[in-house]
Structure 1
Amino acid sequence: MKKNIYLLFLLMYSFAFSQMGVSRKYITKNGSNVILRGINYPFIDDGNINLASPSSYQYYLNEASKTGANAMRIAWYLPGTHWRDIQTAGTVQGYINNGHLGNILTYVESKNMIPILEIHNGACGNDWSLFNNSIVPFWKSTQMVSIIQAHQNNLIINLANEFGNARWTGNVTTAMTTFKTNYKNAITQLRNAGINVPIMIDAPDCGTSSSELLSVAQEIYNHDPLHKIIFSAHAYWSDYAPTTANMETKLTEMTNSGLCWFLGEIANNQDGNSCGSIDLSSYYPTLLTKLCQREIGWLAWAYDQDCSSTRELTTNGVFANLTVYGNDIVYNPNYGLKSTSGCGASPSGTLSGSETNIEIKEKVYPTFFKEHIYIETNNESSFQIFGMDGKLLIKGVLNKGKNEIFTANLLKGIYLFKTKTGTYKLIKN
């Protein structure tokens, strides 16, 4: 009986360990902390892409993955509201029902990017009837719950893009009470529906009002029984935090909150009287530098399909055709996605080898060990062994080939064996 109970515990632990989680300022995946650094890509808007044809969408997703991003935020729409539905009724729901959306998420994951699926309807709006009667039911639908559960080891859902108004209402306190009440109700409904993935919540006022979101963030976080809430701001801050000192204040608030904060959109310009009319080209480099210092993740808007051509990373979704902005986001040596300074996009799972096309393969054994752990790898690497209290116990270098690690001094129990490409649960008996 004791053995059966122990095995049941291990199965339950392994299941929980494999799911995406949130630990203070980090996203956790397979037991490792991940700082999301990547791109927004609303490819559903591209008429050149057939979302029912793998060869069509895979080509563009391949191109986007060349940026080195470890996360991709994907815009989606409520059924019947997108131009694809206007052309042919039922098209977007068909992508869901026929498995195409699930296949797209699988392909994004295969390119070593964490998909962040967001509903774009209601952006910058304050229609809580739309939120409660259309957006929340969309996520709770049988088809979407099935898709989310199938991808719960990798997926984040961004419940509603840039939804809600606060500063713009003239009564921030009342507005944020409405905001938190509706989001808490939504979290309850989604968790009761069996949705266990991290939920991203955008700040109000087109995503800009981080301080206002902060005022209710702890209460929202505490309300989630899984404590998997990510708070996201969009840094169109030309009037909200226009100076470096203002920017520092906003980022300090995020860091000091002890919660997981994220900038879901950064860009080189901001909409004003027209699309992209406010220049942020000297603002975002400072912001990205400070985000790296504070280990706050970010996503660039947008890889393609924006109303401002200078705010696109590419001219047509093909990586070879990077814009000036895109080239900086990808290759800047200090904060670019491919930067090796420590501010680049670390892999979300298995190392992709985007620069070298070398796939690191490794084998760690035995799961139940005594005096030694062995690891076979096809490349030089390093390892760390942690106790379940998070304490680092052993670390070292791995040579190409078979490595033997002495573990006789470890007590009986469960340990996490971490390499650059993965984390393994091992048990000393």
Structure 2
Amino acid sequence: MPRSRNAQALITLCSLLAACSSNSDPQGNTPDGGGAGGDAGSSAGGSAASGGTAGAQGGSAGQAGSSAGGSTGEAGAGSGNTGGAAAGSGGVSARDTYYTKDGKIYDPCGEELVMRGVNHPTMYVDRSGAALPEIAKTGANAVRLFWFGTHGVGIGEAEPAIQAAVDNHMLPILELHDSTCKWSLDDIQSYWTSGEAVSLITKHQGHLIVNIANEASSPSDDAFASEYSAIVQTMRSAGIHVPLMIDAGRCGRNYQVLLNKGAEVMAADPEHNLIFSAHLYDPLTRDQLAKLMGDFQGAALPFVVGEFANREPPGCGAALDYGGLITEANSRGIGWLAWSWGDNDPNKRWNGDCDEFDMAETFAYDSLFGWGKEVAVSLPASIQNTAVRSPWLRTGSCQ
């Protein structure tokens, strides 16, 4: 929904308050990890950290109009490319976070976001965010940052990568990989609701999405709905207000559970601010891809393709129609994130299960090759040819 440009005074204040702070913590020594291919034939998902805004928690001010149907709030000062104030239709309003409405995703200014980006194995290979300026050269507007909660690395160490994403005009999506292809959400919930995690998320909430659990695989649709409803409510009660992304079951591939139960989980969220994600590694035909995406449009559920590549895991299985996938998604305004922009060593591959999943030889933009270069740069439906960065992403303000 277009934003109003009537609130010049508040927009000016927002611009004046923007500040930049970045922690350049040293890279940890955690050993490299595996890439794609979970125990049920999934590709391992990246985690997404979100970044750079220290927007002050807004009150319920600004009654003079909300942006794209959202609630109003106070303007907050932030770090990096952050601002607080968003101009809403009919007057001044401020949102502290991205939000969803009627199946779409909006930034704090009320501009729609259609994700175009990649996954990056941040925790293992790039905690400083060195690859992010190179990823940004594609024009990407989002990056999903891989993280673990059980490997002895504090969530605070994700902050440099979060800030690097924001400084390079991309929305970070921070994700926990611990429950890949299994159903174990208790530790995930405890990690996200820890004081350290809540503090980090709140600090950066104007430029952040939290992907609760990579490819967690429930035993049934009912278990999916009940347990995700509970964890969403617990995270909201802990003070987390950013959009929460929820992956499909069966190692991210069971998109049908999202269609069956997504509305129920959304209704359980007191803020109705969820995004649903499927990892499309099954060899679907173009017609099947079109139907899948049309079904999500019809359900009015905020939906993204959180992972895809050129082959079906495990191993380098059946060839996938990645060009058809991104074309169908683009024609329907559906976001997508390719898997994956891996490590910085040209002599090995991050994705041990199938090295073809690597989009680039190193962190460098110039090292893109094969299907990765097509998806990022050369296809008509590529990131470079279709991604849009809103003023909020570019400057941290609404203009």
The correspondence of residues 156-305 of structure 1 with structure 2, limited to 5 A, is: 156-165=209-218, 175-238=220-283, 242-272=284-314, 275-280=315-320, 283-304=321-342, 305=350
Match of 1:141 among 179, 194, 203: 194
SS at match of 1:313: coil
Decide whether the 8 Å contact of 2:170 with 2:393 is kept in 1.
no
What is the one-letter code of the residue matched to 1:144? A
Once the two structures are superposed, what CA deviation does each residue of 1:13-46 show, in whole Å capped at 9, x if it has no partner? 5464242111223221122111011000013222
Partner SS, residue 124 of structure 1: coil
Check conservation: 2:178, 2:214, Cα contact below 8 A: yes
Counterpart in 2 of 1:312?
A: 358
CA contact (8 A) 2:280 2:307 kept: yes
Q: SS at the partner of 2:95? A: helix
Cα deviations by residue, 1:70-118 (Å, 9 ceiling, x for unpaired) = 1000010013x3xxxxxxxx4x12xx3xx43223212211111100000
Rounded to whole Å, the distance in 2 between the matches of 1:276 and 1:351 is 36
Structure 2 counterpart SS, 1:206 = coil
3-state SS in 2 of match to 1:279: coil
Q: Does 1:124 align with 2:169?
A: no
Q: 1:103 to 1:58 in 2, by over 3 A?
A: closer
Question: Per-residue deviation at 1:313?
Answer: 1.2
Tell me the distance in 2 between the aligned counterparts of 1:161 and 1:423. 32
Correspondence for 1:107: 164
Q: For residues 170 and 312 of structure 2, what CA distance do their matches in structure 1 show? A: 26
Q: More deviation in 62-71 or 34-43?
A: 62-71
Contact kept? 1:211, 1:253, Cα under 8 Å: no
For structure 1, which segment, 108-117 or 5-14, has the greater mean C-alpha deviation from structure 2 after superposition?
5-14
Relative to structure 1, the CA distance from residue 285 to residue 13 in structure 2 (aligned partners, 3 Å threshold; closer, same or farther) is same
Q: Larger relative CO (CA 8 A, sep 6+): 1 or 2?
A: 2
**5+ residue gaps, structure 2:** 1-58, 65-71, 77-93, 343-349
Distance 1:266 1:349 in 2: 28
SS of the counterpart of 1:72? Answer: strand
Report which of the two structures shows the higher radius of gyration computed on alpha carbons.
Answer: 1
Residue 137 of structure 2 corresponds to 66
Instruction: Tell me the SS of whatever aligns to 1:338.
Output: helix
TM-score, scaled to structure 1:
0.68
Q: Which residue of 2 aligns with 1:367?
A: none
Relative to its length, the structure with more strand (as a share) is: 1
Q: 2:28 corresponds to which residue?
A: none
- What is residue 334 of structure 1 aligned with on the other side? 380
Within 5 A, what are the aligned runs for 1:401-412?
none
Mapped to 2, the partners of 1:208 and 1:247 lie a distance apart of 13
Q: Which residue of 2 aligns with 1:398?
A: none
Partner in structure 1 of residue 99 of structure 2: 21
1:41 equivalent to 2:120? Answer yes
**Residue 260 of structure 1, CA deviation:** 0.5
- Using the TM superposition, name which of 287-296 and 100-109 deviates more: 100-109
Give distance in 2, aligned partners of 1:292 and 1:6: 36
| TM-score normalized with structure 2 length | 0.72
Distance 1:18 1:7, change over 3 A: closer
**One-letter identity of the residue aligned with 1:131:** L
Q: Is the 8 A contact 1:310 1:323 kept in 2?
A: no
User: Partners in 2 of 1:205 and 1:7 — Cα distance?
Assistant: 43
Structure-2 change in CA distance of 1:248 and 1:9 (3 Å): closer
Which residue identity lines up with residue 104 of structure 2 in the other structure?
Answer: Y
RMSD: 2.2
Q: How many angstroms apart in 2 are the aligned matches of 1:296 and 1:270?
A: 21
Work out whether residues 61 and 74 of structure 2, in 8 Å CA contact, stay in contact via their aligned partners in 1: no
Q: What is the count of residue pairs matched by the alignment?
A: 308
